[in-house]
Amino acid sequence: MRDVAVVGVGETAFGEHWEKSLRDLSVAAGVAAIRDAGIEGADIEAMYIGNMSGGRFAGQEHLAALAADQSGLVGIPSTRVEAACASGGLAFRQACLAVASGRYDIVIAAGAEKMTDLQTVDVTTTLMGAGDQEWEGWLGMSFPGLYALMARRHMYEYGTTKEQMALFSVNGHKNAVLNPNAQFRFEITVEDVLKSALVADPLRLLDCSPITDGAAAVIVASKDIAKKFKNPIWLLGSGQATDALALHDRKSLTSLRAAKIAAKQAYKQSRTVPEKIDVAEVHDCFSINGLIALEDLGFCGVGKSGKFIEEGNIKRGAAVSINTSGGLKAKGHPVGATGVSQIVEIVKQLRGDAKKRQVHADFGLTHNVGGSGATVVVNILGKDPIER
In DSSP notation, 205-226 reads GGGB----BEEEEEEEEEHHHH
Is 85 an active-site residue? yes
CA angle (297 as vertex; 380, 132 as ends), nearest 5? 100
Q: Please, what's the b/e burial string for 172-201 (b: 16 or more CB within 10 A of its CB; e: otherwise)? A: bbbbbebbebbbbbeebebebbeebeebbe
CB-based contacts of 387: which residues, under 8 Å, 6+ apart? none
> How far is residue 313 from each of residues 236, 292, 310, 317, measured CA to CA in Å?
24, 15, 8, 9
Give strand pairing partners of 253: none
Residue among 85, 208, 285, 300 flagged as catalytic: 85
Helix, strand or coil, per DSSP, at residue 83: strand
49 Cβ contact partners less than 8 Å away, ≥ 6 residues apart: 26, 63, 64, 67, 78, 79, 80, 81, 91, 109, 110, 111, 112, 336
C-alpha pair distances (Å), 234 with each of 100, 162, 382: 12, 38, 5
Residue 157, CB half-sphere, CA atoms under 13 Å: how many?
15
What dihedral do alpha carbons 188, 189, 192, 198 form, nearest 10°? 90
Q: Of the listed 17, 154, 333, 367, which one is catalytic? A: 333
Q: Is 285 an annotated catalytic residue?
A: no
Residues 237, 363: Cα–Cα separation, whole Å: 11
Residues near 312 by Cβ (< 8 Å), separated by ≥ 6?
318
- Cβ–Cβ under 8 Å, residues 278 and 317: no
62 burial class (0-12, 13-18, 19+ CB within 10 angstroms)?
Answer: exposed
Residue 80's φ and ψ, nearest 5 degrees, are -85, 140
Q: Which residues are catalytic?
A: 85, 333
